[in-house]
Amino acid sequence: MVRLLLKTLFLEILLLLLHHSSAVDDDDLSPFPKKFLFGTASSSYQYEGGYNINGKGQSNWDNFTHGDTKIIVDGSNGDIAVDHYHRYQVGYQRGFI
Ligand SMILES: *[C@@H]1O[C@H](CO)[C@@H](O)[C@H](O)[C@H]1NC(C)=O
């Protein structure tokens, strides 16, 4: 019985591998269609930092994360984020922006 199960399992794995290898183009290993375009997005809250500089008002997220409710489990917030507010010039100098 065990031998039969192993033999069946082996055949199923072999069929899966054969099916998978015949379905994949050797030059393009991506499972996405060739015309599929990837995009990314971020929000100013995740990026900018400088939450209390130059008279910027408090946003919803500033209020949420500074309040008593633990809206983010680890207590983190976007007060500094990636600090784009202070570091954007470095990005320009290095050609990232
Ligand atoms: C955040 O809280 C401040 C202080 O209470 C308030 O003035 C501001 O309107 C709030 N911001 C939003 C987006 O609700």
Q: Dump the DSSP string for 21-51.
A: HHHSBTTB--SS-TT--------HHHHT--T
Number of domains in the chain: 1
> Does residue 21 have a pLDDT over 60?
no
Q: What is the pTM of this model?
A: 0.57
Mutate to test the pocket of ligand 1, among 44, 51, 58 (most ligand atoms within 8 A of CB): 58
Q: What is the percent of the chain where pLDDT is above 90?
A: 43
Q: Which pLDDT belongs to residue 78?
A: 94
**Is 47 in contact with 84 (CB distance < 8 Å)?**
yes
Q: Measured from the CA of 63, which atom of ligand 1 is nearest?
A: 1
The answer to whether residue 76 is domain-embedded is yes
The answer to whether residue 80 is domain-embedded is yes
> Does residue 52 have a pLDDT over 70?
yes
The answer to whether residue 57 is domain-embedded is yes
The answer to whether residue 4 is domain-embedded is no
The answer to whether residue 64 is domain-embedded is yes
Q: Which pLDDT belongs to residue 12?
A: 64
Q: Which of the two residues, 59 and 19, has the higher pLDDT score?
A: 59
Boundaries of domain holding 60: 45-93
